[in-house]
Amino acid sequence: MYAMLLHIDGGSIMSSLRKNEQKSISITIDGKECKGIFGQTILDIARENEIYIPTMCYLTKVLPIASCRMCVVDVEGVDGLILSCQEKAVDGAVITTQNAELYKERQNIMKLYNVNHPLECGVCDQSGECDLQNKTMEFGLEGQSFTAKEPSRPVQNWGHVSYDPALCIMCEKCVRVSTEITGDEALKVKFGGYSSTIENVKLDKNFATLGEAAAVCPVGALVDTNFKYSANAWELTKIPSSCPHCGGGHDVTYETRRGKIYRVSNEAEFTTMCSASRYGFDFANEGVTKDREAFKNAVEAFNSAKSIIFSNEISNEEALILQKLKELKGYKLVSYEARAYQKFMNAYSTISGKNLYGGNLKTLESSRAIIVVGSRVNDDAPLVKYSINKASKHHRARVCYMHPIEDGNISNIVTQFIKYDALSEEGVVALLVDTLLKDIEVPDNIRAVLDDLDIGNLSAETNIGEEELETLRKSLIKKVGYSLVVGADLYSHPRAENMAKMVALLEKYARFNIIVTPPAGNGMGISLICDLDDKADGATIGYNAKGDFTLSSMGGGDLDMPSLIQQEGTLTSIDKRVVPINVALAYGGYVLNDIANALGLSAEFTIDYTKALPLSKGFKDVEFDSLPNNFDISGNENRGYLLDEIEIENSISIEEPIEVEGIDGAVVYNCNPEEHFSPFTAKSKILSTEANLLGSQQFATASKLRDGDSVKFTIDDIKFTRVFKIDTSLKGTIALNPTYDMGLSTALLSSYRFNRLEKVGS
Ligand code: SF4
Ligand code: SF4
Ligand code: FES
């Protein structure tokens, strides 16, 4: 019944598709001449030209599902109706999207959708934003023409999301996002004819996938239990903003009513939220009023302080205020993670010749081969993991994951796991660069260093076999589009700068798309805006960090500050985009700008600094109020602006890696669980979890700990008291130590992420 114009059959056609990728075509839709690119579907081109074709199962960010058939169109010269969501447009095609036959076809589909559907919209959470409700009206269905015997299908409780099979239209969007986006493949179709349902095969807590599934569900079948029956969609005020948690900076919309955030949504058609952005929204510093005495004390403290220590959870504008205060008063500015990142990127740019890395999430998701080194990426940067998953599912990308700890959460997409010893990262990067630049021309001094590498020694030191690297090298041959993701294990490493230079060689000479995952929060923005120092001295001001005088957005300090959902300003995202944040909840206290004004700076509002962000670092002279925050109908991002790339004078040289002794015995790795990034996500009621030290049985034996033991240890003078739990999914002698729950101390962690476990009692 449904005709096909072109079958895309596996990889054989991919090369010709790539050759034709940018070839423009022209088709006629409803009498309008529409331009497109070879490879685009009819629906893509129609949408770009603002021509409406109804859909029920289409979701832009996944491959066409083609289960609903609402998108049928008529193509001149082709017998039968065409599914416009999956059919590639052919140059010169003449297409009709609306006529009596198509209307009838779509109306019949809607009648089938409504067989036994309760249409109890008055008590359904989706009401007001339900595709089924809207299209039932659009196609003039006033009654249910067909009925069928209704099987018993009780509502299923999946924790923070519930599933009502009676409302489910089996569009499969939820299944596709769990497979193609978040990647844990938790949701499956349980086939059974009219009784088909969706099955959740991972009933343990699963915030990212279930939240995402509920967001894309077009009807009320999947709903957040925390939101259920709490408010009607049309009563909520929508405040567009950007996520402040992981450094991804993607779009979020706070949905509020009477001073409360009810839920957080996004442009789910195009973008994806991780669990923290969807559920970590209740971190406002509430009930604060202007405390004049505390403000006076703050100004005095700034007048006698020598250093300001701060966390990454501040805006670009606040970072600029701190920088200007440094210029005025000579403070040392200390933000440990951002400083490590800054040093890494400064070294990187001496080779690449640019102040920013070249890759972004889009280049990552279109890659055919990806290497990750120095990041537990599923936990450190969920958005990066989603892009890698997309590349794996959409392009069958090869994914090589290099890390001291295997991660079962990504084993379904990893094609090669290369395990190395903690602290040996410089040797790992040297081996990797040597392998990948083997047949590529590089300057003589670089070739000399690579030729001088003692590969046998490095193999022994890192524990990476030469055959593993050879397998990696061979697997990349004939691939087009490489990406390398490097993370905090590299930039927190004592030899970070030499590694940065080696990594940059791959961007410069091997055309890798590189992403250096920024620290959570606004670490990238801070690293670009502030001249950071390595260490504090003298009396300190802490901002969201413990200091002699503490400004805190979390409460518990000497003067309250607004959190990032109570401020206007901007953040800098992993995609090198300056994105706006807006006030979701009001704040009644003093802000950093008030202190700065009292100390001699002059700006009416914090956002007066938006247009003063440093042009020399790629920021633009743009007023905050002119920053857009939306997507067009085709999903093109129109949010804030992209940083300009600044050319840096390069001097191409690297050093030989130095020999290191491994870390013996039981080791702890500072790593937060996937849902958490900072003390701000720690405040989330929905995400609330116990922060335990998680290790394998082998770790338990090496550290003489039993499941449930309490253990005390110190890292960077910060005292941790943890309950130890055996995690059977972990192997080896490295345990995961969360840091997000350490409040104002979290920002004081400054060292390499792996540390020997030095117990100080139990
Ligand atoms: S899923 Fe949609 S159509 Fe069905 S009851 Fe809910 S709002 Fe109404
Ligand atoms: S639960 Fe929602 S998204 Fe999933 S198949 Fe049913 S209607 Fe579609
Ligand atoms: S949108 Fe094309 S089949 Fe559903």
Q: What is the pLDDT of residue 146?
A: 67
Which ligand is nearest the CA of 128, by number? 1
Answer whether residue 16 shows pLDDT above 80.
Answer: no
Q: What is the pLDDT of residue 305?
A: 98
Q: What separation in Å is there between the alpha carbon of 54 and the centre of ligand 2?
A: 17
Compute the distance between CA of residue 213 and CA of residue 161 in angstroms, rounded to an integer.
Answer: 9
Answer whether residue 244 shows pLDDT above 80.
Answer: yes
Q: What separation in Å is there between the alpha carbon of 729 and the centre of ligand 2?
A: 30
Q: Which helix (H) or strand (E) holds 394?
A: helix 382-395
Tokens 């120095």 locate to 374
Q: pLDDT class for 18, splitting at 50, 70, 90? A: very low
Residue 167 CA, closest ligand 2 atom number? 7
Q: Which residues contact 411 (CB under 8 A, 6 or more apart)?
A: 417
Quick: pLDDT tens for 675-729. Answer: 999 999 999 999 999 999 999 999 999 999 999 999 999 999 999 999 999 999 9
Nearest to 42 by CA among 1, 81, 99, 100: 81
Bigger pLDDT: 227 or 683? 683
Q: At 560, is the secondary structure helix, strand, or coil? A: strand
Q: pLDDT class for 22, splitting at 50, 70, 90? A: confident
Q: What is the pLDDT of residue 229?
A: 80
b/e map of 358-367 (b: 16 or more CB within 10 Å)?
bbbbebbbbb
b/e map of 201-233 (b: 16 or more CB within 10 Å)?
eeeeebbbbbbbbbbbbbbbbbbbbebeeebeb
Nearest to 337 by CA among 298, 311, 364: 311
E strands in 487-528: 513-516
Answer whether residue 67 shows pLDDT above 50.
Answer: yes
Q: What separation in Å is there between the alpha carbon of 84 and the centre of ligand 3?
A: 7
Answer whether residue 6 shows pLDDT above 50.
Answer: no
Q: pLDDT class for 11, splitting at 50, 70, 90? A: very low
Q: What separation in Å is there between the alpha carbon of 317 and the centre of ligand 1?
A: 44
Compute the distance between CA of residue 695 and CA of residue 727 in angstroms, rounded to an integer.
Answer: 5
| Mean pLDDT calculated for residue range 253-278 | 96
Q: What is the pLDDT of residue 194?
A: 75
Retrieve residue 152's tokens: 């018993």
Answer whether residue 144 shows pLDDT above 80.
Answer: no
Which stretch of 139-148, 219-228, 550-559 has the lowest confidence by average pLDDT?
A: 139-148
Retrieve residue 391's tokens: 């590349």
Q: What separation in Å is there between the alpha carbon of 58 and the centre of ligand 3?
A: 5
Q: What separation in Å is there between the alpha carbon of 269 and the centre of ligand 2?
A: 14
Answer whether residue 734 shows pLDDT above 60.
Answer: yes
Residue 136 CA, closest ligand 1 atom number? 3
b/e map of 149-165 (b: 16 or more CB within 10 Å)?
eeeeeeeeebebbbbbb
Q: pLDDT class for 317, splitting at 50, 70, 90? A: very high
Compute the distance between CA of residue 233 and CA of residue 238 in angstroms, rounded to an integer.
Answer: 10
- How far from chain centre, in Å, is Cα 253? 16
Answer whether residue 652 shows pLDDT above 60.
Answer: yes
**Cβ–Cβ < 8 Å for 174, 216:** yes
Residues with CB under 6 A from ligand 2: 168-174, 198, 217, 219, 221-222
Compute the distance between CA of residue 502 and CA of residue 500 in angstroms, rounded to an integer.
Answer: 5
Please state, rounded to an integer, the average pLDDT across all residues of the chain.
93
Alpha-carbon radius of gyration of the chain: 27
Q: What separation in Å is there between the alpha carbon of 35 and the centre of ligand 2?
A: 33
Residues with CB under 6 A from ligand 1: 117-121, 124, 126-127, 130, 132-133, 167, 219-220
Quick: pLDDT tens for 326-376. Answer: 999 999 999 999 999 999 999 999 999 999 999 999 999 999 999 999 999
Closest C-alpha residue for ligand 2 atom 2: 217
Q: pLDDT class for 291, splitting at 50, 70, 90? A: very high
569-572 and 577-581 strand pairing:
antiparallel
Closest C-alpha residue for ligand 2 atom 4: 174
Q: What is the pLDDT of residue 114?
A: 86
State percent of the chain over pLDDT 70.
96
Answer whether residue 20 shows pLDDT above 50.
Answer: no
Phi, psi of 608 (to 5 degrees): -65, -20
Q: What is the pLDDT of residue 17?
A: 38
Handedness of CA 573, 579, 584, 587 (dihedral sign): positive
Bigger pLDDT: 330 or 477? 330
Longest dimension (CA), the chain: 82
DSSP-H helix ranges across 94-206: 100-113, 131-138, 173-176
Residue 57 CA, closest ligand 3 atom number? 4
Q: What separation in Å is there between the alpha carbon of 64 and the centre of ligand 3?
A: 7
Residue 69 CA, closest ligand 3 atom number? 3
Residue 68 CA, closest ligand 3 atom number? 4
| Mean pLDDT calculated for residue range 214-226 | 95
Which ligand is nearest the CA of 176, by number? 2
Answer whether residue 147 shows pLDDT above 80.
Answer: no
Residues with CB under 6 A from ligand 3: 55-58, 66-71, 83, 85
Closest C-alpha residue for ligand 2 atom 3: 217
Q: What separation in Å is there between the alpha carbon of 12 and the centre of ligand 2?
A: 33
